Amino acid sequence: MELISSLKYKYNNLDVLGQIIVWMVVCFALPFLINTFLFLFNINSFSIIYYFQVSPSLFELIFKPWSLITYGFFHADLWHLIGNMIILYFSGRVVLDLFGKEKFIKIFIIGLLCGSFTYLISYNVFPVFQGLKPPMIGASAGAIAVFVFLASHMPNYTFRLIIFDVKIFYIALFIIIMDLIQIPVSNAGGHLAHLGGAAWGFYYNNQLKKGNDPGNKIIDFLNYLKGFFKKKSKIRKVYRRDDFKKPSKEEVDQKKIDLILDKISKSGYDSLTKGEKETLFKAGKN
């Protein structure tokens, strides 16, 4: 249990980019672990990815609206995951340092949305895709949105590729051209989604330069949808004399936990005494 507590603490101290990468690694491994468990108990395997992948079927989308974003947290294979994480990490680190958590989330999440919408519209409009309903997974649209955003904001920023320094503008241009020319070759939906994410990254940067932030309206709309199904209580708060009594045992314990967490942040988890670790463990079980 100490290992779990330590991992939980380390996760909570990661920035949003690190936490997103952790979730993507977990989502990649989870289907394999589930199928291993089912195999050992001789149960027919199934893929949980089905419930999170996005499909061009509008009928299916009605029952899985969350798939417009969740598809980006699952990957087809290890190289698919590694490639997206490399792009996201190196460009996302710079964007996070320059613009902060809020704008990074807007670029990445809305990049995923733009990718899935581009994919959906293309498969329901272009005649070449008639009758085809391939599902899509992968964080490429969000990762490329972050990459193109940085490229359009700082076109002269350079990355070291083996022994050469290459400007990010040329790398982004190469990625976009490769996506365009590969649409007729293979994985048309994926390449179209990449272009949707790239378009958002470029557009969002231009809008920020003009003093606008279109991401606010989209995030507000997503929050509205999230809270739409939640029942809002209209109970009026009534204060009683008991509300002003001295702190309870739970409040005192919380102060003790806060002191332990401060000690962890200063000296690390291993600096805790056995009693402090037990207190932290008991608090985690409540």
Q: What is the mean pLDDT of residues 45-52?
A: 90
pLDDT, tens only, 182-237? 999 999 999 999 999 999 999 999 999 999 999 888 877 777 766 655 544 444 44
CB neighbourhood size of 39 (10 A): 11
Task: Identify the structural domains of the chain with CATH numbers, from first to last.
Answer: 2-228 (1.20.1540.10), 241-285 (no CATH)
Could you tell me how far CA 59 lies from the centroid of its own chain? 25
C-alpha–C-alpha distance, residues 215 and 92, integer Å: 17
Chain segment 69-114, per-residue pLDDT in tens: 999 999 999 999 999 999 999 999 999 999 999 999 999 999 999 9
pLDDT value of residue 161: 80
State pLDDT tens for residues 115-159.
999 999 999 999 999 989 999 999 999 999 999 999 999 999 998
In whole angstroms, give the CA distance from residue 218 to residue 50: 26
